[in-house]
Amino acid sequence: MRRRPVLLTGAALGALGLLAACAPGSDSGGGDASDGGAAAPSADEVVTDVASLGDVTLVVWDQEVRGAQNDAITALIDAFQEKYPNITVERQSQSFDDLQQQTGLALSGNDVPDVLQVNNARGDMGTYVADQLLTDLSGYAEAYGWEDRFSASVLGKMRYSEDGVTFGEGNLYGLAQTGEVCGIYYSQAKLDALGLEAPTTWEEVFALVDAASAAGEQPIMLGNLDQWPALHVFGPLQANYVPADEIVTLGMGNAGAAWTDDANGEALAKLAEWGSSGALGDSPNGLAYDDAWPLFTKGTGVLLIGGSWLGPDMEAVMGEDLRFMAPPPGVDGGVATTGGTGIPFSIPAAAANKDAAAAYIDFITSDDAMALIAENGGMPVNRTAELAPESGVNKDIYEAFDAVSTEGTLLPYLDYATPSFADTAGATLQEVIGGQTDPVTAAQALQEDYAAFTEGS
């Protein structure tokens, strides 16, 4: 499921050759997965004096290929090499799809990169952790102070138990540069025309939907032909009914929760109501995601519940009329909404230059790096409100992400839950919206997938 389309392209999967991690100057992090290469160094074993590592060729694979992404990472690599002239960064950039295709082959082979972006979902990072193909970064986190720099909510998206069974707790296997958050876009002009203010409670959201419908407006824009966009609507809505900690348990695919409780039933019933009433449009399941948001910029819909990555493109059309807000506080009183991080940077278990790799990851996620990412148009995962633009929709987005990630709960993408949950949830929510499945049956379908995975773990 393409939950973050800003990271994905339609590029054909290529047969990319594996790059060799050069051994000269290799540091204390050698070894391969079969002889304990995944073992975590303690903080006092970590070499943070990069100059003392000698000449190192650091092989880095990333998918930071788009304009602002590429500009930021290129500038950071240049600055890193200027600060540490003994390190030569050999960068291989490729699309997310291509990188994901190559990762499993690379990690299980003899030649691996030193730094590799690894998708943090169970089917990717979780599997590689279970197979001991990634380095536990806990010692590096202590040596470099990453737990002081990053919020617990953010780091939880990159934590797994050593066996890969528990997601969101345990060891640290990656570090991200950027953040993502799902919230509510709205047209200020349309709210003004309806005589309404931006909602501060979910009851006000529901009243706004009713008022827009009564005025002949489409209340919420949704293009759900690809199935996954409904998860970005349902996730924030779910928090109005289900406590955040329960959603985290469900979304991380950890045992201890249930889709079939009354609260999840109420959330599914509200989504069904929006579908049957036309609040999501006449045929949301027949409209493609990349056709839906352009229609919103042209005046169809009062609200659009979706991801932060849409902001810049929609603002280019709507200008100051486009606004964004985090969803109102959830049932347990805190702001909670679906979100996460950009693709984390990890260190393979068999990397030849682990200390240099950790120094690189530290550098590209530093406070100075956050400022550079913001200057290039990305949303930094740290210092987000501080680095927000002075105006425009990105100011709203940055401040919303900061509030959720530091004071509220950044809920996991629901497709994190199990290897098959993207397909199960996407199809099930599409049927709920279209009226082919009732909320009770939908909850049972979601529960079956979740329970089969958690009980079999």
**CA distance linking residue 4 with residue 180, whole number of Å:** 9
| Tokens standing for residue 243 | 């406590």
Check residue 7 and give its pLDDT.
Answer: 33
**CA distance linking residue 247 with residue 412, whole number of Å:** 8
Eight-class DSSP state of 285: G
Closest CA to 153 of 362, 346, 368, 339: 339
* 34 CB neighbour count, 10 Å cutoff: 10
- The Cβ-side half-sphere exposure at 326, using a 13 Å CA radius, reads 26
Residues 374, 451: one domain?
A: no
Residue where a domain stops, chosen among 352, 383, 414: 383
Residues 323, 348: one domain?
A: no
Check residue 143 and give its pLDDT.
Answer: 97
Residues 431, 364: one domain?
A: no
Residues 330, 346: one domain?
A: no
Check residue 69 and give its pLDDT.
Answer: 83
- The Cβ-side half-sphere exposure at 365, using a 13 Å CA radius, reads 30
5 in any annotated domain: no
Residues 57, 87: one domain?
A: yes
Residue where a domain stops, chosen among 320, 350, 383: 383
447 in any annotated domain: yes
Question: Do 135 and 349 form a contact (C-beta atoms < 8 A)?
Answer: yes
188 in any annotated domain: yes
7 in any annotated domain: no
Can you list the positions of beta strands (E) in 56-193?
Answer: 56-62, 87-93, 115-117, 159-160, 171-172, 179-187
Residues 80, 67: one domain?
A: yes
Question: Do 403 and 326 form a contact (C-beta atoms < 8 A)?
Answer: yes
Q: Which domain holds residue 319?
A: 180-340+399-456
- The C-alpha torsion from 236 through 237 and 243 to 249, rounded to 10°, is -60
| Tokens standing for residue 295 | 């229609």
Check residue 15 and give its pLDDT.
Answer: 30
Question: Do 146 and 154 form a contact (C-beta atoms < 8 A)?
Answer: no
Residues 286, 414: one domain?
A: yes
114 in any annotated domain: yes
Residues 326, 206: one domain?
A: yes
- Structural domain count of the chain: 2
Check residue 122 and give its pLDDT.
Answer: 87
Residues 113, 188: one domain?
A: no
**CA distance linking residue 439 with residue 457, whole number of Å:** 27
Residues 319, 210: one domain?
A: yes
Kindly write down the DSSP assignment for every residue of 199-211, as one continuous string: PSSHHHHHHHHHH
12 in any annotated domain: no
Give the domain CATH number at 260.
3.40.190.10
Check residue 29 and give its pLDDT.
Answer: 44
CA distances from 113 to 12, 20, 34, 110, 117 (A): 22, 7, 17, 10, 10
410 in any annotated domain: yes
Residue where a domain stops, chosen among 383, 409, 443: 383
- Helical H segments across 108-240, by residue range: 127-130, 138-144, 146-149, 152-155, 188-194, 202-214, 229-238
4 in any annotated domain: no
Residues 238, 323: one domain?
A: yes
Residues 207, 250: one domain?
A: yes
**pLDDT tens for the chain, residues 1 to 457:** 334 433 332 222 233 233 333 332 345 444 333 333 456 789 989 999 999 999 999 999 999 887 778 889 999 999 999 999 999 999 999 988 888 888 988 898 888 999 999 998 888 999 999 999 999 999 999 999 999 999 998 999 999 999 999 999 999 999 999 999 999 999 999 999 999 999 999 999 999 999 999 999 999 999 999 999 999 999 999 999 999 999 999 999 999 999 999 999 999 999 999 999 999 999 999 999 999 999 999 999 999 999 999 998 999 999 999 999 999 999 999 999 999 999 999 999 999 999 999 999 999 999 999 999 998 888 999 999 999 999 999 999 999 999 999 999 999 999 989 989 999 999 999 999 999 999 999 999 999 999 999 997 6
